[in-house]
Amino acid sequence: MKKLLFILLLSFPLFSAELVLKDGYVAAHTEMLIDSTIDPINNSLQADITMDGSDIMTLRGKFWVEMNLFTSDKGNRDEDMYEELEIGEFKIAIFNIANIIKSDSFDNYIIEGMLDFHGIKKELSAMAQITVTDNGSVVIEATSKILMSDFGIEMPCLVFMCVRDRVDLIIKASF
């Protein structure tokens, strides 16, 4: 019994450790004919992420953002966006990591998971550069795309000029 307890204690550092988020954001990019770009950003990314030692392939957990914290350079447009996204009912968007796949190039990975947004859950993949520094810091820089219509959201139009349905996502998290 003592040997089993000793072995378990020795292997304890091999179990997943929670990463502490130091800084992070999610930026969303879309376009409209009049406004060449619409780029709201949320600098309040939250995370509950674990990783076994420095093994990137073992990253697991979730990221989330409060939808009312996205802001752009036009406050009145932000208010319209909040209304379209129904943030009173759908306050948070959550991405759960399911799998990490190593890409062909150095430090590049594909993060697979489930996005829970606007009351709808859909699989989502993101191309990511993930680095682990000598001091143990982890930095994730990822990009992905979603169609708002996939989440039951119809983008607003002014006469014949509509906001593009595709939204490009840029995510950065430093642990």
Residues of the domain holding 169: 17-174
> If DSSP states are collapsed to H, E and C, what string results for 85-142?
HCCCCCCEEEEEEEEEEECCCCCEEEEEEEEEECCEEEEEEEEEEEEECCCCCEEEEE
> How many whole angstroms separate alpha carbon 71 and alpha carbon 173?
18
Question: Under 8 Å CB-to-CB from 35, ≥6 apart: which residues?
Answer: 77
Helix (H, G, I), strand (E, B) or coil at 50: strand
In a domain, 11, yes or no: no
This prediction's pTM: 0.86
Residue 120, CA distances (Å) to 24, 68, 89, 163 in order? 24, 18, 13, 21
Per-residue pLDDT, 37: 85
pLDDT at 2: 53
pLDDT tens by residue, the chain, 175 residues = 555 444 444 444 445 699 999 999 999 999 887 657 889 999 999 999 999 998 999 999 999 999 999 999 988 888 988 998 999 999 999 999 999 999 988 889 999 999 999 999 999 999 999 999 988 899 999 999 999 999 999 988 877 788 899 999 999 999 9
* In-domain check, residue 1: no
The CATH number that applies at residue 163 is 2.40.128.110
Question: What's residue 3's pLDDT?
Answer: 53
